[in-house]
Amino acid sequence: MVSVVYQLSPNNEIIERLYRGLAFVRRIEERVAEIYPTDKIKSPVHLSIGQEAASVAVCDVLNAEDIVSGTYRGHALYLAKGGSGKGMLAEMYGKTGGAARGKGGSMHLVSPEHNVLGASAVVGTNVPIATGAALSAKMRNSGQIVAVFFGDGATEEGSFSESLNFAALKKLPMLFICENNFYAIHEPIAKRWATDRLCERVATYGIETHLIKDDDVLELHDIASSAVQRLRSGAHEGPIFIEYQAYRFREHVGPNEDFDQGYRDAQESKIWEERDQVARLATMLNDDVRDLIDAEIAIEIDEAVRYAEDSPIPEIEELYDHVYAD
């Protein structure tokens, strides 16, 4: 693991951007949790509440041309890269105004205009897809960086190791972002890994690695910013791996807490809630600035809900549209 001392001195503009991004994802997912029991949402939902910072911080340092790929817990990534709340909610409602015209649901958000490759519901399968996109970018000399997001469970898949090896071998312009929330569905790391030193394993491929503990969005932003700058300038060749430790506040799938299931307890969650990055950044802002951002977010979410509810349901004739490329 690379040992680098980063100077965490973000300016007010960065803090405002990060707070806006974090708070928007948090509030719109909280609205999703409220709506879900009404059965208006037509797909399962995997909420990122508690671990929004990975997507928000990394996407803040990428540019519009850069490419991202995520998982079924992909709301934060879709929104952070430029996807709209309207497109996300309408997709969950199964409406034509959705990001995939109502055909993909919560787990398959996509936005080609923002270079969101899409999300996969099969653990680990987005990693080789993103690696292929990075190979294409390098062969085309496009200058694009590819950031692929995945959970700790995906690191146990063969496709993960194969992608690491290939990316290192071909010196691809990639960020591998592991959102380590310590559980693969309900199974803790202690029951799955012989050692929890993930960065050390990744480093055996000759890949630069960074470990961020305690869900620190500012440290992640600093490290990701440096990584992107070095990849963009050519000062660094090949992928960079970041393990970002955070915690999922809600159940694996669905809108509720799940401490009654017996695989984790509320006290464990409380420790991480005390580190909540939305609340942390809120205290770093002027009250008037924060209140204005919160008001704008509330309006945007209300508009997104109305848009989703008013959008039409797809006609049966649309079933086979967009199945094949023209």
- pLDDT range class, residue 320, cuts 50, 70, 90: confident
- Helices 53-61 and 12-35: crossing angle, nearest 10°? 140
Q: What angle do CA 214, 217, 223 make, to 5 degrees?
A: 100
For the segment 204-229, what is each residue's pLDDT rounded down to a tens digit? 999 999 999 989 999 999 999 999 99
CA distances (Å), 161 to each of 20, 128, 129, 130, 181, in order?
Answer: 35, 10, 13, 13, 20
Instruction: With beta carbons less than 8 A apart as the criterion, state whether 112 and 322 touch.
Output: no
Look at residue 2 in the predicted model and tell me its pLDDT: 52
Mean pLDDT of 16-32: 98
Quote the mean pLDDT of the chain.
94
Work out the number of other CB atoms within 10 angstroms of the CB of residue 85: 24
CATH code of the domain made up of 41-275: 3.40.50.970
Please list the residues that pair with 184 across neighbouring strands.
Answer: 187
pLDDT for residue 7 is more than 60: no
Domain map of the chain by residue range? 41-275
- Which candidate, 37, 107, 85, 110, places its Cα nearest to that of 311? 85
Mean pLDDT of 96-113: 94
pLDDT for residue 8 is more than 60: no
